Amino acid sequence: MMNEKMTRQRLLKRQPKLGQEITQLKGTPCNQAETRHNKDRNFISTLLNTIAALVVVLDREGRIVYFNRACEKATGYSFAEVKGKNLWDIFLITEEAESVKNFFSNLRADQFPNEYENYWITKDGSYRLIAWSNAALLDESGSVEHIIGTGIDITERKRAEEEYKTILRTAMDGFWITDMQGRFLEVNDAYCNLIGYTRDELLNMNIRDVEAAEKPEETAQHIQRIMEFGGDRFETRHKCKDGRIVDIEVSVNYLNVKAGRLVVFLRNITRRKQVSEEIRKINEDLRRRTSELEAANRELEAFSYSASHDLRTPLVAIGSLARILREKYLNHFDDKCKEFLGAILGETQRMSRLIDDLLALSRSGRQALQLSDIDMNELAKSVVEELKLLETGRGLQLNLEPLPAAHGDQRMIRQVLMNLLSNAMKFTRRNQEGAIEIGGKTEDGMSIYYVKDNGVGFDLADANKLFKVFERLHSSEEFEGTGIGLAIVWRIIQRHGGRVWAESKKNEGATFYFTLPQ
Amino acid sequence: MKKRILVVEDEAALRLAYEEELKAEGYDVSTARNGKEALSLLKKKRPNLIILDIIMPEMGGMEALIRILSEERDIPIILHTSYPEYKRDLMSWGADAYIMKSDDLNELKEKIRELLEKRREPKPAQEQ
């Protein structure tokens, strides 16, 4: 740019002389001393051919009298091909050619377009955009003798500029350029669509016309800060033409050019905000409901605990009075009364066991786990020993296979083994030869244990009832029990992160499995 | 002379059972329905031993225990309850025994005998 300007000024200073030179370049016969002219011509020619700018010289008829190397390079024509031809016939598009031709037919020095851009058609038919600076060389009488055009090929620059503008215009994000007073100098389609104003409307507006979160003086201060720090990234809200408020994420950079410019990218984050607000609400709701459930659960546990104790008091009263009747007043009763009294005492005891089991179930859910490594072989052995004492006078084969170690609450796991083993003993009582096997293995980092018996078994269709409180598959006359034992097993294993299930066929024994972490 | 026992229990059927059993053991038995009644009977009945329930209306066993002991330091008190969780606290506050309620009253009767036996031993001079 600078070079081009300087060259032009220099050329203008040398104006009269150059005029002569150009006449010579045109090939007009010369009467002056050959040597001096050759020397000057070489100098000028070298100069003009070396510079990157396009230099073309026309006579007053618009015919090309000089065409430098840069021109040859840009158009694909050689000087020889265009020499003496009218400029417009070769290079200009039809519409322009006509007006330029007219201009030359009435050429005046004072009506001369100094600077403009136009397209030149090259030899291969493509277009180059050239930015021209023109100067006129006058003869002694003051009329135009030659016109020197100095041009810069701005095709690539313009294309890049257009591309960049297109990108910004069509970008998904909003884009502005503003001055330091907040006046819009450029806005893209994305922002227009977002805010509802047209581009023309916005170009007459200011940031403060759309800003909804900051007051005008705050925006002014904000711009000052952006100037100091070179940029900023923040969230704000903009007011659309229809009055809607949208959440905007702003990324702004300060350009230190001319009077200063702000280059601003804007993203509509309304939906994002809504979604994150929805997620926050859902989480809050979830937390609230979880804590409600926990509270309800605690309440239920507390209730079952105190209910169990409260149930015990009247039961103790019934039991005590019935015992007194049996111990002291039995001779007042006939046989029927004695039978009934026996039933009352029996039921009282059953109720008492039921309460004990309910309390155990409540404890198995309430008590904090005291985790340790458990030697399951030792634990199973001690449970078997304890149960054997209760089981006398029948053939029972107890087979204890080696067991993998477990990690858990020893007291609770002991309860699990106790319940499963006593179940197995109970349901093999009718067998001539009861057989119970305890075993285990390791699989996928979990220990799997089983208690297998050859007792009455159960129908697999009833398997899902097994672990529920008060579900009994056999009447209490057939097999005594409260229907809570397996519910306790299930709850304890579940609290250890394990699984419990059973397999059986009716009359072919049952196998209960449970898993524990190692 | 018969030993006097005060039974403090809100459950009427239980009062009936205790009264029956303890009278048969040869004790003079009086009853109260809560801690307040027990305190008002303390001077009148001058019991040698008190059986005290914990969860009762008006005044429960915990408050009654403290009030009774502040008036009559030497009366043996047996807490008789369905709730196991107060045992450590109440024993440290000065109860003599903590027995879980059961329809089998033998444990209670045994404890009564043991405590009354102990009190028959000579007491320190300043407390007589």
Chain A contact for B103, CB < 8 A?
yes
The pLDDT > 90 percentage for chain A reads: 30
Contact at CB, A324 and B20, closer than 8 angstroms:
yes
Pairwise CA distance, residues A365 & A355, whole Å: 16
Looking at per-residue confidence, does A299 or A246 come out higher? A246
Contact at CB, B103 and A348, closer than 8 angstroms:
yes
pTM of the model: 0.46
Length of chain A: 518
Closest Cα of chain B to A496: distance in Å? 26
Best of B53, B103, B109 to mutate (most A CBs within 10 Å, chain A):
B103
Cα distances (Å, whole numbers) of residue A80 to A5, A26, A77, A127, A506: 27, 11, 8, 21, 113
Q: Which of B125, B124, B128, B108 is nearest to B116 (CA)?
A: B108
Closest Cα of chain B to A411: distance in Å? 19
Chain A contact for B17, CB < 8 A?
yes
* Residues of B whose CB is below 8 A from A348: 103
Chain A contact for B75, CB < 8 A?
no
Chain A contact for B85, CB < 8 A?
no
DSSP structure string for A216-248: HHHHHHHHHHHHHHSEEEEEEEEE-TTS-EEEE
Cα distances (Å, whole numbers) of residue A262 to A166, A195, A378: 19, 19, 79
Contact at CB, A312 and B13, closer than 8 angstroms:
no
The mean pLDDT of B41-45, rounded to a whole number, is 89
* Residues of B whose CB is below 8 A from A320: 13-14, 17-18, 21, 103, 105
Cα distances (Å, whole numbers) of residue A422 to A416, A429, B67: 10, 11, 48
Task: Tell me if residue A264 falls in helix, strand or coil.
Answer: strand
Best of A315, A320, A347 to mutate (most B CBs within 10 Å, chain B):
A320
Confidence of residue B94 (pLDDT cuts 50, 70, 90): confident
Q: Which amino acid is at A277?
A: E
Pairwise CA distance, residues A416 & A439, whole Å: 14
pLDDT beyond 80 at A507 = no
Contact at CB, B17 and A328, closer than 8 angstroms:
no
Residue reference for tokens 């180059």:
A128
Contact at CB, B83 and A309, closer than 8 angstroms:
yes
Tell me what pLDDT residue A178 has. 92
Contact B116, B91 (CB under 8 A): no
Longest dimension (CA), chain B: 41
pLDDT beyond 60 at A25 = no
pLDDT beyond 80 at A26 = no
Tell me what pLDDT residue A475 has. 65
pLDDT beyond 80 at A469 = no
pLDDT in tens, A443-463: 888 899 999 998 888 887 777
**Closest residue on chain A to B15 (Cα):** A317
Question: How high does pLDDT run on average in chain A?
Answer: 84
Looking at per-residue confidence, does A509 or B31 come out higher? B31
Chain A contact for B13, CB < 8 A?
yes
pLDDT beyond 80 at A506 = no
**Closest residue on chain A to B105 (Cα):** A320
Pairwise CA distance, residues A385 & A48, whole Å: 116
Burial class (CB in 10 A: 0-12, 13-18, 19+), B120: exposed
* Residues of B whose CB is below 8 A from A312: 82, 101
pLDDT in tens, A357-402: 877 777 777 777 888 999 999 999 988 888 876 666 667 788 889 9
**Closest residue on chain B to A315 (Cα):** B103
| DSSP code of residue B86 | G
Q: Which two tokens stand for residue B83?
A: 């709730």
* Residues of A whose CB is below 8 A from B82: 309-310, 312-313, 316
The mean pLDDT of A226-254, rounded to a whole number, is 92
Contact A511, A427 (CB under 8 A): no
Q: At what angle do helices A410-427 and A335-366 cross, to 10 degrees?
A: 140
**Closest residue on chain A to B19 (Cα):** A321
Confidence of residue A11 (pLDDT cuts 50, 70, 90): very low
Q: Which amino acid is at A377?
A: N
Tell me what pLDDT residue A5 has. 45
* Residues of A whose CB is below 8 A from B102: 316, 319
pLDDT beyond 80 at A21 = no
Per-residue burial over A477-500, b = 16 or more CB atoms within 10 Å of its CB, e = otherwise: eebebbbbbbbbbbbbbebbebeb
Contact A316, B103 (CB under 8 A): yes
Closest Cα of chain A to B24: distance in Å? 10
pLDDT in tens, A297-329: 777 777 777 777 778 888 888 988 998 898 888
Tell me what pLDDT residue A473 has. 65
* Residues of B whose CB is below 8 A from A322: 103
A184's enclosing H/E stretch is: strand A184-187
Q: Which amino acid is at A498?
A: G
Residue reference for tokens 């006939």:
A334
pLDDT beyond 50 at A120 = yes
Tell me what pLDDT residue B92 has. 79
Tell me what pLDDT residue A471 has. 66
Tell me what pLDDT residue A3 has. 46
Contact at CB, A313 and B11, closer than 8 angstroms:
yes
pLDDT in tens, A51-62: 889 999 999 889
Closest Cα of chain B to A345: distance in Å? 10
pLDDT in tens, B51-85: 999 888 888 888 888 888 888 888 899 999 888 77
Task: Collect all residues with Cβ–Cβ distance below 8 Å to A417 and sequence separation of at least 6.
Answer: A379, A380, A383, A438, A451
